[in-house]
Structure 1
């Protein structure tokens, strides 16, 4: 049962390296402030909410919710392993867009919202609005935007080098 006066550090989790970095920072903040860590994963039905309204399929929604829950648990396990985060933790799977879900997962000004502030290219920004920017504009609690892990650039660089040197037929097989 949730207490209204309980402090929370809420972190958005998707399983990406950036979200795992933010989750680790959120756990450190929860330890520092003696708060509960709340890991939140937002999901939307295939085709979005409009598609679901025009052709509802309850079994698909149930399966999507289950898959989202599994993804959240895998991300938490990837981040902390069997030892866990070292603080009390709640996991929450929310149907909706990430920014709205994260704002709804906070309880007020005593909470802290931790989001990843990943690198953003022009095309990516046009197709996927910034969750961090949305949270900064709408949250009633402090928001901590965590920069990407330095390892993220190293991983991307290695991936580019491997892809560049692959023969054409191997690239076709990788797709």
Structure 2
């Protein structure tokens, strides 16, 4: 895809995986697209289980590629439906499913000067932006503006509740408010 085949006054591209962090980034990206009058481009990048190297080693991989891509497309549609429902985000949406490393795929797609790339920073906050994860890769390599969205405060509360539950510790409902 070249940078010239987008429509409208700009694109707001956002990495979507279905994680709470990516949903937070998707909501922020939709708000940014509405503010700019731009199109929203949610992108779900996928890799074969075990990565590309493992996929090249297996002779049966080519039989599963179509199924993996179908599942990725289905996941993107589910996330968009869960977040926006029937009303939609209020801007044109161009969902993309691409095979490849998420950080690299996002950077390769967001090539126009008027693009904005929105990524979630993960559940551990801003210091993770500069790690080797997707957000860090995008911040270091993107040719357009990158908006790194911190996690929702709810994510920390949910993670703490999950830890307590998995360790079989009593949960005080006052901690959830």
1:76 to 69, 76, 80: 80
User: For 1:155, what is the secondary structure of its paired residue?
Assistant: helix
User: For 1:87, what is the secondary structure of its paired residue?
Assistant: coil
In structure 2, the residue matched to 1:95 is: 99
Runs of 4+ displaced beyond 6 Å:
none
Specify whether residues 5 and 83 from structure 1 end up closer, same or farther in structure 2 by C-alpha distance, changes over 3 A only.
closer
Offset at residue 5 of structure 1 (A): 6.7
**Does 2:69 correspond to 1:65?**
yes
Q: Is contact 1:4-1:107 (8 Å) kept?
A: no
In structure 1, the residue matched to 2:156 is: 153
More helix by share: 1
In structure 2, the residue matched to 1:43 is: 46
Kindly report the root-mean-square deviation, in angstroms, between the aligned alpha carbons of the 2 structures. Answer: 2.2
Give the unaligned 5+ runs of structure 2.
Answer: 170-177
Q: What TM-score do the two structures reach when normalised by structure 1? A: 0.84
Number of aligned residue pairs: 162
CA distance in 2 between partners of 1:152 and 1:107 (Å): 31
Q: Is contact 1:40-1:105 (8 Å) kept?
A: no
Offset at residue 62 of structure 1 (A): 0.6
Offset at residue 13 of structure 1 (A): 0.2
CA distance in 2 between partners of 1:86 and 1:132 (Å): 26
User: For 2:98, what is the secondary structure of its paired residue?
Assistant: strand
In structure 2, the residue matched to 1:142 is: 145
User: For 1:38, what is the secondary structure of its paired residue?
Assistant: strand
1:115 to 97, 114, 119: 119
Q: Is contact 1:69-1:93 (8 Å) kept?
A: yes
Q: Is contact 1:9-1:36 (8 Å) kept?
A: yes
CA distance in 2 between partners of 1:95 and 1:11 (Å): 16
CA distance in 1 between partners of 2:34 and 2:168 (Å): 45
Q: Is contact 2:120-2:148 (8 Å) kept?
A: yes
Specify whether residues 55 and 3 from structure 1 end up closer, same or farther in structure 2 by C-alpha distance, changes over 3 A only.
same
Offset at residue 6 of structure 1 (A): 4.2
Q: What TM-score do the two structures reach when normalised by structure 2? A: 0.83
